[in-house]
């Protein structure tokens, strides 16, 4: 955590200060290689995608470049401003500043995919059940939760907070999200190798 930050991570101010201090350890300066490969392979049929905790929006725009209708949200106004400044007219993304735990009901059941990279691990672990509720609420029946989970294993501190695979799968399954696949990506960026996994869940109802 950057020095001088004393506010709760459950407030936008926490993340605003991180963006202002440019302590963006999660920012790769471009789309996540794992996502680019999946989209180039045609792993997912085009549809509507929600990207929570979208940051600078690299992954959101990558989905849009492959023909998906993308809505990207972030808690921090600074991140939302960056997404708008980096907008690519050939890959349009609907950008919104939002608390993921207070999303408008108009979004319920509107998405074929919810893609998560570095969001689940950033929230307070006590909020993880509520986060899984949000995922299930936004997805259409048959929709997919695509989760690039990091750091998976026994890690202390945070954010990012450790993700333990079995409890993660369990809270998703409790909400009608059936695990379809789980794999360690061969193209994780170097600092994530060995502690990143790709999970794909399908909403069953």
User: What is residue 118's predicted lDDT score, i.e. its pLDDT?
Assistant: 86
Burial pattern 74-83, b for ≥16 Cβ within 10 A else e, equals bbbebbbebb
Q: Counting beta carbons within 10 angstroms of the beta carbon of residue 167, is it exposed (0 to 12), middle (13 to 18) or buried (19 or more)?
A: exposed
Give the C-alpha distances (Å, rounded to integers) separating 13 from 7, 51, 54, 131, 194. 7, 21, 16, 20, 32
Instruction: Report pLDDT for 180.
Output: 97
Of 177, 106, 174, 96, which Cα lies nearest the Cα of 135? 177
- The one-character DSSP state at 101 is G
pTM attached to this predicted model = 0.86
The pLDDT tens digits for 151-167 are: 898 777 667 889 999 99
pLDDT higher at 121 or 178 = 178
What confidence tens digit (pLDDT) does each residue in 16-52 have?
555 555 554 556 678 999 999 999 999 999 999 999 9
């Amino acid at each position: 955590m950057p020095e001088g930050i004393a506010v709760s991570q459950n407030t936008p101010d926490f993340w605003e200060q991180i963006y202002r201090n440019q302590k963006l350890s999660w920012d790769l300066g471009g789309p996540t290689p794992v996502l680019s490969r999946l989209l180039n392979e045609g792993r997912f049929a085009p549809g509507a995608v929600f990207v929570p905790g979208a940051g600078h929006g690299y992954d959101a725009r990558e989905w849009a470049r492959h023909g998906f209708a993308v809505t990207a949200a972030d808690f921090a106004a600074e991140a939302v401003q960056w997404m708008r400044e980096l907008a690519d007219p050939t890959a349009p993304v609907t950008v919104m500043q939002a608390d993921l735990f207070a999303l408008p009901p108009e979004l319920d059941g509107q998405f074929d995919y919810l893609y998560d990279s570095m969001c689940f691990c950033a929230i307070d672990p006590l909020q993880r059940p509520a986060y899984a509720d949000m995922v299930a609420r936004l997805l259409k029946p048959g929709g997919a939760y695509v989760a690039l989970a990091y750091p998976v294993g026994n890690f202390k501190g945070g954010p990012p907070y450790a993700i333990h695979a079995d409890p993660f799968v369990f809270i998703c399954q409790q909400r009608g999200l059936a695990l379809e696949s789980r794999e360690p990506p061969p193209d994780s960026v170097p600092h994530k190798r060995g502690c990143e996994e790709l999970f794909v869940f399908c909403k069953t109802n």
